[in-house]
Amino acid sequence: MRLILIRHGQTPNNILNLLDTAVPGPGLTSLGEKQAAAVPAALRDEQIGALYVSTLTRTAITAQPLARELGLTPTVRDGLREISAGSLEMKGDLESVMAYMTTMKAWLRGDLAARMPGAESGIDVLDRFDAVVQEAAAHQPDGAVVMVSHGAMIRFWAGHRSGNIDWSDPTYHELSNTGIVVLEGEQGAGAARGGWHIESWHGTPAGGLGGTDFDGPTAELAASAFHADHDEG
């Protein structure tokens, strides 16, 4: 199975560096809409057979240009939504951002029982995303499956489920809005740890259209904290 994970386009709260994870969430900025419009060209060489989005508005808007290009109707699944910030929701102070990232670090080190403050555990997050991947695999059409999801969710799931990620490699340090991660899964092993192989990680925005993870000091510090101390995924 070929799986293409795309982060949504830029939102107003991305600019403000807020932990915005609740449904339905905001739409896209004008830049975010331009990023979304650049996605079809970025995937022109892919044979795509299915398109999934999360329950957050920003993924549906991001998927629209690709859906029109391919003549596909996106399938909406709650399992693809962002990792809940719980009691940290809509906060952007350094302490809150670091608490969110520290929990993700614990998950990637194997402590999946750890919980986001007032929210879900790593086990919960993996289970819900895995369920969507398993559904797609069971109904796999000809071609790749595209899932438009979220920055933290893609980083965590791809980092935990792939067998070849190396967080010390700067290639994996950025996953900006409309960044694209392509994975190949072994038949029947897709949901198991090590069952996926990251073929490519394009962390910059589709079409090179600005708005990177490192636009603000809080975002830069959070990204640095997330990748620190990781020798392997």
Name the H helices within the chain: 12-15, 30-42, 57-70, 94-108, 122-138, 151-161, 217-227
Residue closest to 21 by CA, chosen among 72, 127, 92 = 92
Cβ within 8 Å of residue 161, ≥6 positions away: 126, 130, 183, 190, 191, 192, 193, 194, 195, 196
Establish whether 150 is a catalytic residue. Answer: no
* First vs last C-alpha separation in the chain: 21
Question: For residues 183 and 192, what is the distance between their CA atoms, to the nearest angstrom?
Answer: 13
Question: For residues 175 and 137, what is the distance between their CA atoms, to the nearest angstrom?
Answer: 25
* Residue 232 half-sphere exposure toward CB, CA atoms < 13 A: 7
**Angle 168-171-174 from CA coordinates, rounded to 5°:** 100
Cβ neighbours, 10 Å, residue 99: 18
Establish whether 184 is a catalytic residue. Answer: no
Question: For residues 222 and 99, what is the distance between their CA atoms, to the nearest angstrom?
Answer: 10
State the catalytic residue, choosing from 69, 82, 174, 230: 82
Catalytic residues: 8, 82
